[in-house]
Structure 1
Amino acid sequence: MTTQVLDGARTVGDVLDAAAERHGDRVAVQDATGSLTFTELRERARRLADGLLRSGLRPGDRVLEALPNGCELLVSEMALALAGLVRVPLNPRLGPREWRGIHHDSGARGLIADGRLRGGDGAGITEHVACEIRVRADDGGLAELIDDGSPGARLVAPNPEDVVGLAYSSGTTGMPKGALRTHGMRLASMRAMLRHVVEPTGDVDAYLHAGPAIHTSGLFILPMLALGARQVMAHHPTPAAISELVAAASITHLALVPSVVDALTQLPEPDRRSFARLRMLAYAGAPMPPAQIRRAAELLTDRLVQYYGLVEAIPPLTVLGIADHARGLGDTPQLLASAGRIVGDARIEIRRDGGSADTGPVPSELGEVAVSGPMVTPGYWNAEERTDLGKSFDGTALLTGDVGVITDGYLVLADRRNNMLISGGYNVYPGEIESAVLSSPGLRDAVAVGLPDERWGQRIVLAYTTTSGADLDASQRAELHDRLDRLAPHKRPKTCHFHAELPLGATGKLDRRAIAAQLIAAEHPLSGASDERLPTT
């Protein structure tokens, strides 16, 4: 179905043109306020591209984008690509410090924003970021540019190697850094997403953008255009609202971060029924523990797909497909601990200290995951001016910072290199501790962190949540103890802490720094914090 689109496309605009020509009057995108056909989407994107260039922006200028999920977001993304502008999406789940840092680093001259969009702390993006050229969606400025624009009058065809966007990290360990994304990278991701993630699951009737389109869900925009599939945009829907949309909008395909998938499993049984009709429930952005995968398969759907990638290497690099999940839920449970099989043009090897490399299939010791291929960024924006980027490129490949091993062609991720703890002089990866306990009865999430300690350097502690919302009972505690006792002594947490909830970061992942801060505060009565502790001595 997609061969013609794939073979002829060299840029983002090519995909939009081919989709409009093939699927014309079919609905391309819809939200709570209306819909656009493929022809209308292209027309409005072309008009907006012309309007942005008339406003004073020049090809190559960076433009911050802060829009909620909706038809306008899709028009804006396509328009920026058509105009030769560089899209810099702002994640509302970050905060004013990060927004201002991204603005400063990117040198953006333009801002396309909805003034009603606010961060998790209530801060308004337009209250903290101001650019030379501002286009507001909430006061009619975006619609005015579209209405006044001339489709294609000022547009110059870009090249595949031209930068189409900057993808900024979440900034959890410092100021966000912007990975360059070219048209060629976007299309390499689109092709791999279609061939290895979407098409094996069956025909797509409609895809739901329930997560922010600036994160994992946005990776499906181009594939769905290429397929001629209807895209349904929802801005921060609750788990119950996701269930309602899946049923009401005849959704067949959906991708979410694991924390949201897990929240769906907690819905009442009638609300969970709608997910049985899905042909694909994909998850990405963070590993999903095997116990959570089993819950999702039992309570939602067994049509599960996992894919792996990075800000600097657009997914999918690996895919754990529906058949892999079936094997993992059956007689090959170790598959559920993997990120999937290496796919497409991605080239992955394991780099160990000393420079040796392993590409499988024989299991070997852990090392840093290195990736190369057409989906990998050529570098960071302002790389020559920043001294805080770290060693990400070694001249031949991107060093991801992920620690893992390749076994029988499957990539198994153990942890992040910068998560490593040093306790009593030993290196400890918290992922090993977490993997040892996450299938323990009653546990929902578990995170191992290191707290400052005069004796140990870092004292390892475990924070956890439960499926019941209450602390573990005596038998569950005994099982948790037993699993921890199987670890080497220097890897065992000194204490375990029950939490009703654990904080999430900007991309829906568990926030290790915030968890550590909570645990430090809980150890000091004057902080007012409290928790329950389970000694593990």
Structure 2
Amino acid sequence: MRLHPIDADDPRAVRAALPAALDGIRPLALGFIPGPDDVVPDGTAAVVATSGSSGVPKRVILSADALQASASATASRIGDGQWMLALPAGYVAGLQVLVRSLLAGTDPTFVDGRLTPEAFVEATPQAAGDDLYVSLVPAQLATLIDAADADPAVVAALRAHRAILVGGQALSDSIRMRAMDLRVPLVHTYGSSETSGGCVYNGVPLDGVRVAQVDDELRISGPMLASGYLGDPALTDRIFMTDDQGERWYRTGDRGFILDGEVEVHGRLDNVIVSGGINISLDRVERIVRTVPGLEQAVVLGMPDERWGESSIIFATPASGDGRRMLDDARARVAAEIGKHARPVQLELGDDMPMLASGKPDRELLRRMIHDVPPPPDGDSGDTTPRSRPIIID
């Protein structure tokens, strides 16, 4: 089957094209222009280009059955009703909002442009009386929680929702606790484009989903798995495997554990640096750094180090605060929980964090800043470098 390109920046156009895509008539190419050799299997509904937050984007083939299985499992877990679309329709989380709405027989509320507290409040009452739902990334939630401290209307809009799904990246404990204090109905989701979106809610797999721990890696099985990667059969064979019982599994590449039936995710297996001959998980360092007031949305990446080989650096855009104090606090907390060898050596404070359209930090652009590499002319990382001021530990 041939793919049909559509403007993924126009959520209403994606919504209008979705019924034919789910019927298997016109599979959609979201986030890229398909080439003449880009042919997909029968039953494909969409091919989604991943955000490229940590490298080269991939094009994930999603069948109609997989998308609908995911949407149905979500409805079984949290109910269905009126959804607000606050994410790009070209990414799987935004696409699933449209699929869930279609299956529920409701029209989503669209937020045009960036989600601001004012836009969130304005969009929420349009569905008054129905069960309200929205899917956000942590950065969006943090903006709303910050605004809620001074605006009762934002608190009321947050509480009006039956469930607020939050996923796409790690959620800091401080934001989670502040949301709990405000009685915001958060549902923390875990999944990816390869699983048609979130498939583990608050640590518990959705119906039909199985999660296994093989060594330290999490693997997922279920009817919502992607068909594979467009134009890359070798990658498909490496990431999707079939066991001796004929069950198909997705190798997430995430480190995690299953304790008492609940899934705990501890970051990427490959997000590790070697400093002084010791392996350090940057995801673990980042989680600790984000407990420091003012660094709740910080990003931690590896950087070359003449003495140790590699070390870590913090990027953040705090509204206010003493950078030296925050760095000292972060280093002390990392040393206490991991060890002195894992302490970040530098803090970069900038006015803006480079972000992808999906709402995730643009880690690839930040890496290029570290290595002083100019961005590609047509890449996901854009062509600008945010201004920052370094705070360095000698």
Q: Which has the higher helix share?
A: 1
Counterpart-to-counterpart distance in 2, 1:226 and 1:265: 30
Q: Residue 431 of structure 1: SS of its match in structure 2?
A: helix
Paired amino acid for 2:342: K
1:179 is paired with a residue whose SS is strand
From 279, 295, 310, the equivalent of 2:162 is 279
Tell me the amino acid that sits aligned with residue 52 of structure 2. Answer: G
1:74 corresponding residue in structure 2: 15
The answer to whether the 8 A contact 1:449-1:460 is kept is yes
Q: Find the counterpart in structure 2 of residue 258 from structure 1.
A: 138
**Contact 1:444 1:465 (C-alpha < 8 Å) held by counterparts:** no
CA distance in 2, matches of 1:70, 1:173: 25
| Separation in structure 1 between the aligned mates of residue 24 and residue 294 of structure 2, nearest angstrom | 53
> 1:438 pairs with 280, 286, 290, which one?
290
Residue of structure 1 equivalent to 2:241: 394
Contact 1:105 1:382 in 2 (8 A): no
What displacement does 1:504 show?
1.7
Partner of 1:42: none
Mind listing any 5+ residue stretches in structure 2 that lack a counterpart? Answer: 244-248, 374-384
Match of 2:27 in 1: 86
1:351 maps to a residue whose letter is V
Is it true that 1:288 corresponds to 2:219 in the alignment? no
How do 1:94-493 and structure 2 match up within 5 A? 99=32, 103-104=34-35, 107=38, 162-196=43-77, 198-199=78-79, 204=81, 206-215=82-91, 216-239=93-116, 240-250=118-128, 252-267=132-147, 268-272=150-154, 273-299=156-182, 301-320=183-202, 340-352=203-215, 367-384=216-233, 391-396=238-243, 397-466=249-318, 469-472=319-322, 479-486=329-336, 487-493=338-344
Shift of 1:63: 0.8
**Contact 1:192–1:316 (CA<8 Å) still a contact in 2?**
no
CA contact (8 A) 1:163 1:181 kept: yes
Query: How far apart are 1:529 and its partner, in Å?
Result: 5.2
Note the alpha carbon deviations across 1:335-373, whole angstroms, 9 max, x for none: xxxxx1122111111122xxxxxxxxxxxxxx1111112
**Structure 1 residues 476 and 166: alpha-carbon distance in aligned structure 2, compared to 1, 3 A threshold:** closer
1:61-85 deviation digits (Å, cap 9, x = unpaired): 1111114445433111213343622
Between Structure 1 and Structure 2, the one with more strand by share is 2
Matched, 1:495 2:361: no
Does the CA contact (< 8 Å) of 2:47 and 2:60 recur in 1?
A: yes
Tell me by how many angstroms 1:303 deviates: 0.9
Normalising by structure 2, we get a TM-score of 0.83
Gaps of 5+ in 1: 1-59, 91-98, 110-158, 321-339, 353-366
How far has the Cα of 1:393 moved from its partner?
2.5
Does structure 2 conserve the Cα–Cα contact (< 8 Å) formed by 1:402 and 1:413?
Answer: yes
Q: Is the 8 A contact 2:335 2:342 kept in 1?
A: no
Deviation at 1:165, TM superposition (A): 1.8
Cα–Cα, structure 1 residues 530 and 378, in superposed 2: closer, same or farther, change >3 Å? closer
User: Which residue does the alignment assign to 1:133?
Assistant: none
Structure 2 SS opposite 1:394 = strand
1:160-217 Cα deviation digits (max 9, x unpaired) = x722222222234554322221222122112211112x32xxx63x221121123213
Q: Which moved more, 1:209-218 or 1:262-271?
A: 262-271
* Deviation (angstroms), 1:419: 1.9
| 1:289 to partner: Cα distance | 0.9
User: Which protein shows a greater Rg?
Assistant: 1
Corresponding residue SS for 1:309: strand
Percent identity, please. 22
CA contact (8 A) 1:430 1:447 kept: no
User: In the aligned structure 1, how far is the partner of 2:343 from the partner of 2:197?
Assistant: 34
Work out the number of aligned pairs and report it.
370
The aligned amino acid for 1:260 is Q
Tell me the distance in 2 between the aligned counterparts of 1:169 and 1:477. 33
When structure 1 is superposed on structure 2, of 68-77 and 176-185 the one drifting more is 68-77
Residue by residue over 1:405-436, the C-alpha shift from the partner in whole angstroms, topping out at 9 and shown as x without a partner, is 11221111111123222222222211111122
Structure-1 separation of matches of 2:273 and 2:327: 25
